[in-house]
Structure 1
Amino acid sequence: MISKIFLSLLWIGFVIYGFFLAPPGQPDTIELIKNLSTGNWDNINPLIIAVFNSIGLVTVIYANLLFIDGREQKIVAWPFAIASLAVGTFAVIPYLILRERNPKFSGEKNLLIKLADSRLLHIFISITLIVFISWGVISGNGLDFIQEWQTRRFINVMSLDLLCLCLIFPFIIKDDMLRRNIKNDALFWTVSLIPLLGTLIYLCFRPSLPE
């Protein structure tokens, strides 16, 4: 119950900030999103490119976790999983609030579950994420990013969205561990207290779901 209250307050606060308190939107935001989406990255700060692509990859990870978690839930997970690919935290947190703890997995793994459970897929995602983040940090202009963050709603909210997604992984990772018969509190807290990197390492080395 405490976690649901916390997540509810976090979601409400994020919505209020995103729509009412964040810096104003800019007229060229749609053009920026289009260029970022299509790989037309000329004259765009690599840090912005890295954050944009990182949030896309992180939401793919969440979609995989939600597809597996939803097998034993009363609510349907796939609408939240698909929506998370577009709006990130705005879709993930409502699912985490509505779901119930259920550390079980039953039935056969269909093609979608097998893909979501794939170790190779998560190794590929992890390597790609690390490459984007490293490239953004090394090649990007930090001062320019800060200025953009302070003046552009899209950059501001996108960055906070990525940060939030990285911090709330523990709310769904615990049950994922138990489904794989991993009953190790020390491992859970290690993964939880190392934002993003801890989760990536776990996803790359976790055992497969038992059928």
Structure 2
Amino acid sequence: MVRRSLLAVIWVGFLGYVLWLAPLDRPFTWTFARHLVTLHWGEINAYLLAIFWLMGVWPMIYACLMFADGHMQPVPAWPFWLGSNFTGVLCLLPYLLVRPRNWAFDGQQDRWLSWLDRRSTGLGLLGTAIALIAYALVAGDWPDFWTQFHNYAFVHLITLDFCLMGVVFPLTSLFDDDMQRRGIDPSRGVWAIALIPLFGPLLYLCWRPRLPGHTPPFNWASSIQ
């Protein structure tokens, strides 16, 4: 109950903050989108570009935990997950608030679930995160990014959204349920890895045991229900 209350406060507070700042009404947002679409990435500060792409890594981290029990949930996970790729925690949190706890895995893995369950997927996400952060450190201009953070609503909000994705992770029951589903003893202190921003969840995905089950022919529709 305490966790859900904290998640609800985060969602309501951040939603109100986004509506107040209204990033889509600001010229910088569209300038950034134009540079991104036209591949003029040299015009974008590497720190902002790295955070933007890391906001694609975070939904994949959550996907690796969300879809394993998606068949047993009363609310389908895939609309919220798709939305989180565009709006971060704003679409992700409503699902986490209504999702009942579940540490069982019922049925067989299709290829989508099998791919999410692989350690190689975690390693790929970890490598991507390391490469993006290294790119930002080498090519980015931190004073300029700090100035943009204070002056442009889009930069301000995407940075906060990135941070909130990490804050929310240990507050949800996804991580606890995933450990129990895989027979991991929480008394071993594995739960503490969730407190490490970004890299904790990624290291967990690289280490966790596989789920039981066979891999039938790929069925996208069933995998995202």
Where on the TM-score scale, by shorter chain, does this alignment land: which range?
over 0.9
User: Do the aligned residues in 1 keep the contact of 2:45 with 2:145 (CA within 8 Å)?
Assistant: yes
Distance 1:37 1:97 in 2: 34
Is 1:185 aligned to residue 196 of structure 2?
A: no
Distance 1:127 1:30 in 2: 30
Deviation at 1:23, TM superposition (A): 7.5
Distance 2:35 2:45 in 1: 12
User: Do the aligned residues in 2 keep the contact of 1:23 with 1:156 (CA within 8 Å)?
Assistant: no
Deviation at 1:151, TM superposition (A): 1.2
User: Do the aligned residues in 2 keep the contact of 1:24 with 1:152 (CA within 8 Å)?
Assistant: no
Structure 1 spans left out of the alignment, 5+ residues: none
1:61 counterpart residue number: 61
Deviation at 1:184, TM superposition (A): 2.2
2:209 counterpart residue number: 207
Distance 2:24 2:86 in 1: 20
Q: What amino acid sits opposite 1:105 in the alignment? A: F
1:47 counterpart residue number: 47
Q: Deviations over 1:123-150 (max 9, x none)?
A: 1111011110122123211111011111
1:174 counterpart residue number: 176
Q: Sequence identity, in percent?
A: 35
Q: Deviations over 1:25-45 (max 9, x none)?
A: 521412312433564302211
Distance 1:23 1:36 in 2: 16
User: Do the aligned residues in 1 keep the contact of 2:28 with 2:154 (CA within 8 Å)?
Assistant: no
Alignment of 1:14-53 (within 5 A): 14-21=14-21, 25-36=25-36, 39-53=39-53
Distance 1:93 1:186 in 2: 28
Worse-superposed segment, 27-36 or 160-169: 27-36
Cα RMSD (Å) of the superposition?
A: 1.8
2:133 counterpart residue number: 133
Distance 1:168 1:83 in 2: 16
User: Do the aligned residues in 2 keep the contact of 1:50 with 1:132 (CA within 8 Å)?
Assistant: yes
Q: Deviations over 1:70-89 (max 9, x none)?
A: 22211111111111111111
User: Do the aligned residues in 2 keep the contact of 1:25 with 1:154 (CA within 8 Å)?
Assistant: no
Q: What amino acid sits opposite 1:133 in the alignment? A: I
Distance 2:163 2:48 in 1: 14
Question: What SS is found at the alignment partner of 1:31?
Answer: helix
Tell me the number of residue pairs that the alignment of Structure 1 and Structure 2 aligns: 211
Q: What amino acid sits opposite 2:47 in the alignment? A: L
Q: Deviations over 1:160-186 (max 9, x none)?
A: 111010122221211111111112234
Worse-superposed segment, 13-22 or 174-183: 13-22
Q: TM (normalized to structure 1)?
A: 0.92
Structure 2 spans left out of the alignment, 5+ residues: 214-225
Question: What SS is found at the alignment partner of 1:54?
Answer: helix
Distance 2:27 2:115 in 1: 39
Question: What SS is found at the alignment partner of 1:209?
Answer: coil
1:109 counterpart residue number: 109
Name which structure has the greater RCO, CA cutoff 8 Å, separation 6+: 2
2:197 counterpart residue number: 195
Distance 2:74 2:23 in 1: 38
Q: What amino acid sits opposite 1:140 in the alignment? A: G
Q: Deviations over 1:64-103 (max 9, x none)?
A: 3222232221111111111111111111111110101111
